Structures are given as C-alpha cells and as structure tokens.
Amino acid sequence: MSGADPRPVLVTGGAGFIGCNIADRLAREGRSVIIYDSLARPGVERNLAWLEERHGGRIVPLIADIRDEARLAHSVRSASAVFHMAAQVAVTTSLDNPRADFEVNALGTFSLLEAARRCASPPPVIFASTNKVYGGLEDLDFALDGDAYVPVAPDIAAHGIGENRPLDFHTPYGCSKGAADQYVLDYGRSFGVPTAVLRMSCIYGQCQMGTEDQGWVAHFLIRAIEGRAITLYGDGCQVRDILDVGDAVDAYVGLLRNIDRVRGRAFNLGGGVENAVSLREILGFIGEHLGRPLSTELSDWRAGDQRYFVADTRALREAIPLRAAKPWRQGVADLAGWLVANRPAPAPHIYLAEQAL
C-alpha cells in the first residue's frame, strides 16, 4: 500500500466490527479513511465515535446506505482503495426479508463494482465474503470426538476446507453473499478492476457487540458476563476456527499491499486448525475464565448451520506475509476483558423479562 496516494481509503460498513478495526489500522498508519455506514446496526455509532476520538480529521464519516448508488459512486471515485465490508450479516434476517438481504449484499456490491469500473483508474476493491459460500458440506462425513465434530477425511482434518471446495449457496444470505463474491472476482476478470476476496470464518475481538444471529463469540461472552442463559442451536458440538480481529485486519491490509500479486483471487480466512474449537469447548473455557458455571439451553438446529467449518489458510499465507494467529484462549480472554470495560449496560427490562420465564 503506497503512502504516495493522498486520496482516502473507503471502508464501507466502516463503523461495523471489522470495518472499524480496519479503519483504525489505516488511520494509525497515517491514512485518511472515509467511513461509509448507514449506522443501521445498533451500537455501531459507538465505534464511529471511538474512531473520531482516536484519529480526529483522518476519519471522514459519511452516513449513507450502500443502496444509495449516487453517494456510493461519488465515494468510490474519491478513494484510492476500497474495503467493502457493508452487508446484511445474519442468516435469520435473510430468511425473514430476502429482498432486503439481496439489495444490500448483492445489488449493493454490484453498484460499488460498477462505480469502480467507471473510474479512469479503478481503485482496488477488497471484499468481505463468507465461508457460507461453501454450503452445508453435507457430502462430508464427520464423527463426534468428545464435544466436537471432526472430519473423517484425513486431509480435511489436517488442513481444513480449501478454496478448491465447490461453491454451494444455502439460504438467501448465502446466495446474496455468494453472488457478490463471484461478481467481485468477475469484475477483475472482465473489466480489470483490481479485486480480491476473503471468505471469512468466525472473526471476534474488540468493538464486537455480538448478537445471537451474528458475532457469537462476543454474544456468548456478553451473556456469560451478565449471568444470563446462553442458547445453543443444535447440539453445541459444531466446530469453527475462530480468528482475532487483529489478525483479520493483517490479512485485509496485506491483500491491499500486495494487490498486484493477489488480484483476481479468493482466499479463505480463519483461525485454521490451530484455532478450531467447538461451541461447547468455548463455553467451558468462558466458565473457567469467569470462575463460575454458565447457564445454557438447547434449541433446534438453524438453517445453513454447518457442523464443521475450519478454513485451510495455506493459500493466503503463501500469498502474503502473515504472523501466526493469536491462540484462541488468549483472544477470548482478551475480548472478555474488553467487554467488561466497554459494553453498554443492559436495559433493566431485559432482566425482568428473563426472570419471569
């Protein structure tokens, strides 16, 4: 990433969890950053205030919807590079309102790419995709090993799911993000826009105010810290490779710095086999860390929930220099400390409603 270009970097969804961490990194490096965000997700205005307090005039807020084509195009034309993080992020919401999910994730990305294509010199576009593009992995066999599903296939057990895995979109969310993923790659092929894609596993860390639908590591911690029950959908033996947001930001910034070498490619981004952990194992660690038992309850499996997903990150690590990922126990403990110090106080009526159940 050249420091010679004085134009700002555009981060769509820049007040969101990962977006604000990318913006913080860029501003610390001396870059000006346009934060393009509708502030629709509750709590993200706190992230924007945090960025402005830390970096002052380097943060240029633009409160706008990704579906506003004119404002989006103007922002893209003024940018030296784009991190496209804005999205509808929950599978459950996509099932409730698939049209809005499509308009934000697929059409919003298409509009951004069109704006980039029309620039005299198209800016690099780094896109936040998802491991949901690989579907439910129903053709793979898994065995229960204690409280965790493990793949029967030795190569997947050793390395995780690679980018050669066939795409298989499930749920409206999977379809909208998958379509956007493919459009981003094809605008690199068809129109020469310098693009790259990161298909993310579970990212966690500072500035994440997780909910039941998205950001489950932070959600588990918030519920546990407040002494509230945690619902496990399915059996809780689902395995994910979790990655601290600082390591995720390294990958995003690394792709931009090496865009001439990685353009046109999609990479899996996650904690890898070293940071693969089941939901039950996470809860066990949280209870130990907080020094008290947790209250949990089971509910039915949710649509699109994979029993196992661990990213094979070898292609990404071969493409750009990356440090070893933060060990998950250290990262979860760090996030617990951040949440104790920074989470907003829960509304009293929430406790009253739960006590009545």
Neighbouring residues of 292: CB distance < 8 A, sequence distance ≥ 6: none
The DSSP output letter for 311 is: B
173 flagged as catalytic: yes
Residue tagged active-site, from 134, 149, 173, 187: 173
Q: Which helix (H) or strand (E) holds 151?
A: strand 148-151
Read off the tokens for 108: 């919003």
Helix (H, G, I), strand (E, B) or coil at 341: helix
Read off the tokens for 49: 């205030």
Place of tokens 């793979």: 140
C-alpha distances in Å from residue 249, one per residue of 25, 44, 256: 8, 18, 11
Query: What is the DSSP secondary-structure string of 106-149?
Result: IIHHHHHHHHHHTSSSPPPEEEEEEGGGGTT-TTS-EEEETTEE
Which is it for strands 142-145 and 148-151: parallel, antiparallel or unpaired? antiparallel
Measured distance CA(169)–CA(200) in Å, rounded: 15
Catalytic residues: 173
